[in-house]
Structure 1
Amino acid sequence: MFAFIARQPILDKDQDLFAYELLFRDGANGAYPEHEPKKSELISSRFNTLGIDDISGNQRAFINFLPETVINRFPEELTADNIIVELTQNPAFNTSLMNACEFLKKSGYQIALNDNLLQSAVLAPYPYIDIVKVDINKISPRMLEKHIPTLANSGIQLVAEQVSTLDQFAMCLDLGFDYFQGYFFTQANTKTAKSLPSSKLTLLELMSHSATSQFDLEKVVSIIERDAALSYLLLRFINNPMINKREKITSLRHALRYLGEVEVKKFIALLSLASLNDEKPVELLQVSVVRAKFCELFEMHKHGKKKAMSAFIVGLFSLLDTILDGEMAIILEKLPISEDIKQALQGVEGDYLQYLETARAFESGLWGKIMTQAAKLDISQKELHGIFNDAIRWSNEMRQALSDFFPRARP
């Protein structure tokens, strides 16, 4: 079990989720940490811990292992079903490591090599390696153009790391990379901005009602009833056993009264955003959901329930400009939400913006920044990581609940 862990998505050419890379604060350079039994027991007792499946949501997981861990102490509790073993040293240079990799391959594991200097492409073959990962910021464009097409044609799968812009994604796609790690997909493409169809304007209207302090049940029902697909979605969603284990919900009014105002607002905002996100990577919605729950839980920890819904909306709407390919300020003009939410979404300093900054630090495993944010927000490491872990768990439940209704949101 782990207390200090983060994840980064790795997407395929269609920007669907391929895997997560798991990053461990207690391991060297994010590698799998080796705790003494006493320390493991201390972490489990003092911190809100996660297992591998908790953080990866039962998706494939790249985990970086130090050579000595692979050779001498590979964790027996891990299975080959969803784990990809990531190395920073080519087995060709270490006989013991090569023997260990041979054993892992026979056990069914895939093995990835993190080769940021492309030395292996020049100096040695890739024994037992299925996937090569390359940090595109550490290699010149000339070297990438020289070696990546050759590797792509060799049968080895290629992951481009640190892809932070849509232009970098397009370049790596052209070079022949198979997978892409980085937050390029959270960037708004204002070049393709276009007018919203009436169906999406309806969703924005619905989202507006979820973000206002005054909740008009009949108004919300009338909006949902205009969209038969959304009505069906909401009823199916609320009857999902993960959301509602007690009572069969038979009508919109029944659903909204059953859940209560706060949860209704939350789920309406979530379903509306999921529907708006239909042409975008599903992971964009997943990042938004983690941020939303993190901001909500942090606000509850700091100030109680009074403005927790506002914090939830800040996190959930934080990528609305990317989802709609527009300018955030222009999009917010269409949403009659409170000024403090609008300011946070436009980068104005305040508590909500600090919550977002902390969530972004977790997304990239920036442990130093996370510690700085904890001090700035006057919260202990135990409490901060516990809040993030709870947000991850909740987002995984939402992914599973939504997967029945959004075919691209695969469990």
Structure 2
Amino acid sequence: MIDISSNDITPKPLRVREFYLGRQPILDRNQALFGYELLFRNAPVGPANISSDLSATASVIAHASQLGMERVIGDALGFVNVDADVIMSDIFVFLPREKVVLEIVESMLVTPEVRARISELVGHGFAFALENVVSDTSQVQQLLPLVQYVKMDMSTVDPQVLAALAPRFKQEQKKLVAEKVETREEFKLALDLDFDYFQGYYFAKPAIMTGKKLSPSQLAVMELMTLVTSDAGNMDIERAIKRDVSLALNLLRLVNTPAVGARQRIDSLSQAVTVLGRRQLQRWLQIMLYAEPSKRGHSMTPLLMLATTRGRLLELLAHKLRPNNAHLADIAFTVGIMSLMDTLFGVPMSEILTQIEVTDEVAAALLSREGFYGDLLRLAECIERIEDMEGEIVPTLRDLAMSPDDLVELEMAAYEWSDNVVRYAL
């Protein structure tokens, strides 16, 4: 038996800078965040060298775990791909067993030794998932008793096959995860088939609705944002906040989060306006736009998480690339947050920009991903969709003169910041 508590044998450490890190949200049936699939990719010298070698992934997992897995996934579960080499290694000494689900890749050959090792790890408290199951094969049969989750790809498996397989696995008490859910229709199909969890960016796609009206609270926040970005006095801003009691309470809670970094507790609206300043106040109002629907019973947590992560990552990237211009970082944060407002409001981005005054540079970034801010936003989107857009990361980094090592550390900082914000915002 291999002792997973021993440190005698460890994978060769590889530096985080040699890799890209992507994470894709996995939601439950109520649209609340359940976990993330963590996707590690080699950072190539050139596009031809792009690799997703799982042995390299194992070393990155070790390094990421040492840095703190909670920085990447917060309170959620982390789903990580593993193959036979990883399963037979001693990587598991690094992994918090209560925080990870090990995804067995579909290409893995099941030998008696591998199956015995999986059984041993299950005995140690590790959870496993079968990835990309398309039929009830003998290999699936061998592994099914050892796994808790079965993942099926909504983009490749025929709906009739899904309808036949789903009840079969549910009968075995397995949790079903629908992968590559990109449309509301695919989500509804998986929901009807009694899937438990849903992975994909369907929640971030705008569902344009003619004549859709903003909620009273969202209107109040938008009006307040207009005051903040204009030359209105602090007293006028304070009065506007006081008109909406829930807005006032939520703002006070948000400005006291660790993410703000205030040196003292902020107990009054006038203090909030004075201490924060216009720039920070505008930032928290933008975040509140995403948090507000959750308070009405509509779970918008994943959209809030995605928007705050984008905003913070763009801000950190801008600060790294243009360290002597703090104003650029502020604008980059706004671009990241605003990039999902078409989804939030259910109206085209072009229409939103007729209501919220922005510079031509910001409009170009939001409408067509052009210019400096557009490059930053495109990089963030490539990372989110690392499986489909991996090849675009290298040229985008080259255009920005940004190194992969800086990118991964900024990503982890953005994930951690966003997790803190969302925890307090809801």
Is the shorter-chain TM-score for this pair beyond 0.5, marking a shared fold? yes
Q: Is the 8 A contact 1:280 1:323 kept in 2?
A: no
- The aligned counterpart of 1:127 is 145
1:360 to 366, 376, 381: 381
Gaps of 5+ in 2: 1-14, 43-50
Q: Are the structure 2 counterparts of residues 93 and 321 from structure 1 closer, same or farther at C-alpha, using a change threshold of 3 Å?
A: same
1:386 to 378, 401, 409: 409
Partners in 2 of 1:120 and 1:29 — Cα distance? 25
Higher mean alpha-carbon deviation, 225-234 vs 236-245, is at: 236-245
Partners in 2 of 1:180 and 1:149 — Cα distance? 17
1:272-287 equivalences under 5 Å are 272-276=289-293, 278=295, 279-287=298-306
1:207 to 225, 231, 234: 225
Partners in 1 of 2:140 and 2:405 — Cα distance? 45
Amino acid in the other structure paired with 1:100: R
Q: Deviations over 1:142-196 (max 9, x none)?
A: 3223322332333211111111111111111122221111100001222486222
1:149-298 equivalences under 5 Å are 149-191=167-209, 194-209=212-227, 212=229, 216-241=233-258, 243-244=260-261, 246-276=263-293, 278=295, 279-298=298-317
Q: Is 1:344–2:365 an aligned residue pair?
A: yes
Gaps of 5+ in 1: 407-411
Q: Are the structure 2 counterparts of residues 160 and 5 from structure 1 closer, same or farther at C-alpha, using a change threshold of 3 Å?
A: same
CA RMSD of aligned residues (A): 2.8
1:12 to 23, 28, 40: 28
Higher mean alpha-carbon deviation, 143-152 vs 54-63, is at: 143-152
| Percent of aligned pairs sharing the same letter | 28
Runs of 4+ in 1 over 4 A off after TM superposition: 29-32, 89-92, 213-216
Q: Is the 8 A contact 1:215 1:261 kept in 2?
A: no
Amino acid in the other structure paired with 2:356: L
Partners in 2 of 1:94 and 1:134 — Cα distance? 23
Q: Is the 8 A contact 1:31 1:64 kept in 2?
A: no
Amino acid in the other structure paired with 1:181: Q
Q: Deviations over 1:252-310 (max 9, x none)?
A: 11112112332222223222332255424201010000111111222223332123222
Q: Is the 8 A contact 1:91 1:97 kept in 2?
A: no
Q: Is the 8 A contact 1:9 1:182 kept in 2?
A: yes
Amino acid in the other structure paired with 2:334: I
Q: Is the 8 A contact 1:121 1:147 kept in 2?
A: no
- Using structure 1 for the length normalisation, give the TM-score: 0.86
Residue aligned with 1:137, SS: coil
Partners in 2 of 1:70 and 1:10 — Cα distance? 23
Aligned residues: 393
Q: Is the 8 A contact 1:292 1:315 kept in 2?
A: yes
Q: Are the structure 2 counterparts of residues 222 and 15 from structure 1 closer, same or farther at C-alpha, using a change threshold of 3 Å?
A: same
Compute the displacement of 1:318 (Å).
1.0
Q: Is the 8 A contact 1:235 1:255 kept in 2?
A: yes
Residue aligned with 1:155, SS: coil
Q: Is the 8 A contact 2:110 2:139 kept in 1?
A: no
Residue aligned with 2:125, SS: coil
Compute the displacement of 1:103 (Å).
1.2
